[in-house]
Amino acid sequence: MAQGTQSTAAAFALPAADGEREFAFSDADFRGLAQVAYEQAGISLADSKRNLVYSRLSRRLRALGLATFREYRDFLDQNIAERESFINAISTNLTKFFRESHHFDHLRSEVVGKFARANAGKSGRLRAWSAGCSSGEEPYTIAVVIKKEIRDLERHDIRILATDIDTEVLGRGSRGEYPANSVDDIPRNYQEYFRPADGAPDTLVVDRQARSLVAFKRLNLMEQWPFKGAFDAIFCRNVMIYFDGPTKTKLIERYTEKLKPGGFLYIGHSESLNGSTPGLSLVGRTIYRREA
Ligand SMILES: C[S@@+](CC[C@H](N)C(=O)[O-])C[C@H]1O[C@@H](n2cnc3c(N)ncnc32)[C@H](O)[C@@H]1O
């Protein structure tokens, strides 16, 4: 899966005119594929994403030995299994540890710290959800914040659900291994939870106990959510930018239902919940609290 930076570079490298392209790619092809992306994943692909779609899917055409996008659309129509590769190819997975770090300061003081104090000497239950977790940097950041703040972790029932529609990034997240230079994104006081792998100094491994808090699952946010129970914190950051207004509104309603009263919803810095958000109050920069 292309990370955002790679895909942008690839998009710029593309010849604009169809005649110069390796595969024939018509307006109808783009519109047809955009419709599948919307129907399957809620992802809205504006016209400006045409080159991006071309470059990301060209790899699929090569792998499948197809000569035109028309052929690829037919293949996608007739092979349900191809939908997974299609979604993996078109989703944008850019992420990093401690991205938009003030969210984690807030999580530490308002959720985890309060939980630790309220449950001192007894056992408590804490649930967080990273919805659109990509390759795992976001849920592992939540995990190390929890680990640092709660010294008697074994006493409690703490889980972080990490979901994404893209199976390729979920695989990377489950492995919990990252390039060594990812350490640059991690504040010094958290670096103890990320160590070079034995015999592979170019690989950074997430602390085993922190990893054990995170469960990765494939979940399409547009479908049913097959879990019960409410969350203390939901992170859905830099995901809703790919959705249109009505899809976003519906999703926010569903997140609100899934939050405990007093729980928090964190969204990306470039996102806003334009208009009314029944049941939620804005309590910080891109941080919402479910009203009691
Ligand atoms: C840019 S990443 C955001 C990662 C992380 N939340 C962050 O802010 O760093 C967006 C993620 O949303 C996922 N996504 C897009 N549409 C989705 C859907 N319908 N259901 C679940 N995940 C989706 C993509 O696969 C991608 O991994």
Q: For residue range 172-194, what is the model confidence (pLDDT) as tens digits?
A: 999 999 999 999 999 999 999 99
Q: Are residues 45 and 169 in the same domain?
A: no
Furthest-apart CA atoms within the chain: distance in Å: 70
Within-domain flag for 95: no
pLDDT of residue 20: 78
Q: Are residues 109 and 83 in the same domain?
A: no
CATH number at residue 84: 1.10.155.10
pLDDT of residue 185: 97
Q: Are residues 246 and 120 in the same domain?
A: yes
Least confidently predicted of 5-14, 30-39, 46-55, 139-148: 5-14
Q: Are residues 156 and 212 in the same domain?
A: yes
pLDDT of residue 17: 53
Q: Are residues 77 and 123 in the same domain?
A: no
Q: Are residues 133 and 275 in the same domain?
A: yes
The reply to whether 56 belongs to the active site is yes
pLDDT of residue 2: 37
Residue 96 CA: which ligand 1 atom is closest? 9
Q: Are residues 276 and 134 in the same domain?
A: yes
**φ, ψ (nearest 5 deg) of residue 285:** -65, 115
Q: Are residues 141 and 81 in the same domain?
A: no
Query: Which of the listed residues 43, 65, 90 is the one where a domain comes to its end?
Result: 90
pLDDT of residue 7: 38
Q: How many domains does the chain have?
A: 2
Helix ranges (DSSP H) in 237-286: 245-258
Q: For residue range 199-233, what is the model confidence (pLDDT) as tens digits?
A: 999 999 999 999 999 999 999 999 999 989 999 99
Q: Are residues 228 and 285 in the same domain?
A: yes
Q: What percent of the chain has pLDDT over 90?
A: 89
The reply to whether 21 belongs to the active site is no
Catalytic residue among 29, 164, 207, 232: 164
The first and second tokens of residue 103, run together, are: 């969210």
Within-domain flag for 96: no
CATH number at residue 183: 3.40.50.150
Per-residue confidence band for 64, with pLDDT thresholds at 50, 70 and 90: very high
For all residues of the chain together, what is the average pLDDT?
93
Within-domain flag for 113: yes
Residue 4 has pLDDT above 80, yes or no: no
Q: Are residues 86 and 195 in the same domain?
A: no
Within-domain flag for 31: yes
Within-domain flag for 122: yes
Considering only CA atoms, which residue is closest to atom 27 of ligand 1? 134
Q: Are residues 107 and 147 in the same domain?
A: yes
Please give the C-alpha separations between residue 229 and each of 127, 149, 161, 273, in angstroms, as whole numbers.
9, 23, 12, 24
- Round to whole Å and give the CA distance between 112 and 247: 30
Instruction: Find the domain containing 79 and state its range.
Output: 4-90
Residue 69 has pLDDT above 90, yes or no: yes
CA of 56 to the centre of ligand 1 (A): 16
